[in-house]
């Protein structure tokens, strides 16, 4: 039954599952605690502009998505704080403009974009070794940021005003947190695609939060759940020959539903 592991593309897929789970467990914890799920969705869709730019320039779209996503995150954080518009309005603007830019770049690119569907809906089975290296580097950057600024990120996630009272530059670390979300989006793009990224960023941490409020334990449990559920979705998609990204998200959603129902009706928690 485990014969599929001998194939290079399956080995890459399993490594991808581990790498995305690390990013999701670390950053997703802050996303859930800070309640910035909608902002994360806006950044993920805006990243499509970077994908289109990569096609237009003829280079790996994952590489161009990195600066594009970070700039989108910084812009979203700044415009919602300094311009007299609501945060959800800023998200809607960046969401739609980013997608539109990506589409225009792709339209201007000669020929056909063969991997476009995988960037929209994910294809963990087609992740090349070069992308694995990029994902690993981004995971290391995210991990280092979490280690170096764990106190500041924890403070702004629970109470920005209290963080300011402690002398923490809350707005600066809020922008850094959004930048980490942007890096996570790039890690996730080839696995579940722009459309489904938000599920991996939120569901493992949402499940883990039902068992602990301790931040380090929450992150570790989120990473573990992400690995188990992502690999389960990957194997199901391989066995039944269906979309890997959508299958992974469905497995995540079912796991959340089962855990929530079990806690409420079986354990009365």
Q: What is the pLDDT of residue 154?
A: 93
Q: What is the pLDDT of residues 68-126, one digit of tens each?
A: 999 988 888 777 666 667 777 878 888 899 999 999 999 999 887 777 888 988 888 88
Rounded Cα distance, 23 and 254, in Å: 21
Contact 34, 157 (CB under 8 A): yes
Does the pLDDT value for residue 242 go beyond 70? yes
Over residues 186-199, the mean pLDDT reads: 88
Domains and CATH numbers, the chain: 2-266 (1.10.3470.10)
Rounded Cα distance, 264 and 194, in Å: 33
211 DSSP 8-state letter: T
Residues whose CB is less than 8 angstroms from the CB of residue 122 and which lie 6 or more positions away in sequence, other chains included: 189, 190, 191, 192, 193, 196, 243, 244, 245, 246, 248
Contact 102, 48 (CB under 8 A): yes
Phi, psi of 169 (to 5 degrees): -80, 85
Helix (H), strand (E) at residue 243:
none
- pTM for this predicted structure: 0.91
């Amino acid at each position: 039954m485990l014969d599929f592991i001998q194939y290079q593309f399956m080995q890459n897929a399993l490594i991808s599952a581990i790498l995305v789970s690390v990013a999701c467990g670390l950053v997703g914890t802050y996303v859930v605690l800070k309640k910035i799920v909608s902002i994360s969705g806006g950044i993920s869709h805006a990243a499509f502009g970077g994908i289109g730019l990569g096609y237009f320039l003829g280079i790996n779209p994952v590489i161009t998505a990195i600066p594009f996503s970070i700039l989108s995150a910084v812009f979203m954080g700044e415009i919602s704080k300094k311009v007299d518009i609501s945060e959800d309005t800023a998200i809607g603007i960046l969401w739609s403009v980013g997608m539109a830019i990506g589409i225009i770049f792709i339209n201007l690119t000669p020929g056909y974009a063969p991997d476009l569907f995988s960037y929209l809906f994910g294809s963990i089975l087609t992740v090349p070794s070069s992308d694995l290296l990029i994902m690993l580097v981004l995971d290391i950057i995210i991990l280092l940021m979490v280690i170096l600024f764990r106190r500041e990120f924890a403070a702004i996630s629970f109470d920005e005003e209290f963080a300011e009272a402690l002398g923490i530059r809350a707005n600066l670390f809020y922008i850094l947190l959004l930048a980490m979300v942007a890096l996570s989006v790039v890690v996730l793009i080839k696995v579940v695609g722009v459309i489904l990224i938000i599920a991996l960023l939120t569901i493992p941490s949402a499940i883990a939060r039902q068992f602990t409020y301790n931040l380090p334990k929450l992150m570790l449990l989120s990473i573990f759940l992400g690995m188990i559920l992502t690999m389960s979705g990957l194997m199901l998609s391989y066995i039944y020959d269906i979309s890997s990204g959508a299958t992974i998200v469905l497995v995540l959603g079912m796991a959340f539903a089962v855990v929530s129902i079990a806690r409420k009706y079986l354990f009365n928690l």
